[in-house]
Amino acid sequence: MQLLKKIIDLILYSNLWIALCATAMALQTQYLLVQQLRWTPLLSLITAATLFLYAIHRIVGIAKVKAFWDMERYAVIAQFKTHISIYAFIAAVIGAISFFYLKTAIQISLVVPGIISLAYVLPFLKGKKRLRDFNDIKIFLIAIVWSWITVILVSMDYAAYDDQRIWILALEKAFFIFAITLPFDIRDLQVDAHSQVKTIPARLGIAKTNSLMLVLLTIVSLLVLLNYYLGLYSIGATVAMQFSTLLTYLLCRKSDQIKNDYFFTGLVDGTMILQSLLVIFFQG
């Protein structure tokens, strides 16, 4: 049992899991566009960049929450800070190499989300602040950047970015990411209050935040139906998307009742992988 826990901690807190989530969502977009799965330099970059950015986020963030190091997830991160730094370095090298194999248009399109992502995790703003340290802003940045990277850039790789269905898909993913990020803000209410950061759950309360989640995921379902009508989703993939969206809501609305971080970092983030697997399987 102790060995299993160490393996789970390695997968989750080395940031491999969240990197796999980003890769799965990018592969989902690829499959919707060309009905095939193949590894590309862009996928290598997405995987490596996600691993790098989240590793840096953990390394920088752990120093800001020393008062909470007795919490299990922070204790694990603090214990393996050196390991995480090594993973970040390896991911940075792989990401840099992958970048030079990309089309020029994609390289240019990575500049703004890249700057935003770095500013989100690195404290180089006034007062050693990161973008995530400003009230309300972090959840919007996460939704926009994830949608751009996993939908728009993938579509650019296949010259399909001028298809209206892709922009609808990007909106769908932005609303989905926004919804599944809210449980993390509920989890972090105490930590964010300590850091004097006001998030949506802090302003609305948990009950209204759960209602907002329902509204956001309902919009996701409606956008899926629109893209089914426009021919992007098959009937099988549409049913799979609606099922995964419903399951995501039922899972996320429990976020105020569950304290174990495996629920958040494992299951809530894992809804991205579940959705992608279901869509890829049933789209075919």
pLDDT at 67 over 60: no
Letter string b/e over residues 134-173, b meaning 16 or more CB atoms within 10 A of that residue's CB:
eeeebbebbbbbbbbbbbbbbbbbeebbeeebbebbbbbb
Percent of the chain's residues with pLDDT above 90: 53
pLDDT at 194 over 70: no
User: What's the pLDDT band for 45 if we cut at 50, 70, 90?
Assistant: very high
Q: Which two tokens stand for residue 203?
A: 């302003």
Tens digits of residue pLDDT in 230-248: 999 999 999 999 999 999 9
Nearest to 60 by CA among 91, 84, 89, 92: 84
Mean per-residue pLDDT, 210-237 = 96
Per-residue pLDDT at 219: 98
Mean pLDDT of all residues in the chain? 87
> Can you tell me the distance from the alpha carbon of 181 to that of 175, in angstroms, rounded to the nearest whole number?
10
The CATH code that applies to domain 2-283 is 1.10.600
Per-residue pLDDT at 254: 86
Per-residue pLDDT at 260: 83
Mean per-residue pLDDT, 104-129 = 82
The single-letter code of the amino acid at 247 is L
Percent of the chain's residues with pLDDT above 70: 90
Is the pLDDT higher at 123 or at 168? 168
Mean per-residue pLDDT, 119-125 = 74
Is the pLDDT higher at 87 or at 41? 41
The dihedrals phi and psi of 100, each to the nearest 5 degrees, come to -75, -5
Is the pLDDT higher at 42 or at 206? 42
Least confident of 6-15, 125-134, 145-154, 234-243: 125-134
Alpha helix stretches (DSSP H) within the chain: 2-13, 16-34, 41-64, 72-79, 81-99, 104-109, 111-121, 137-147, 153-157, 164-187, 189-194, 200-204, 206-229, 235-252, 261, 269-283
pLDDT at 62 over 70: no
Which 8-state DSSP code applies to residue 129? B
pLDDT at 153 over 70: yes
Per-residue pLDDT at 87: 87
pLDDT at 85 over 90: no
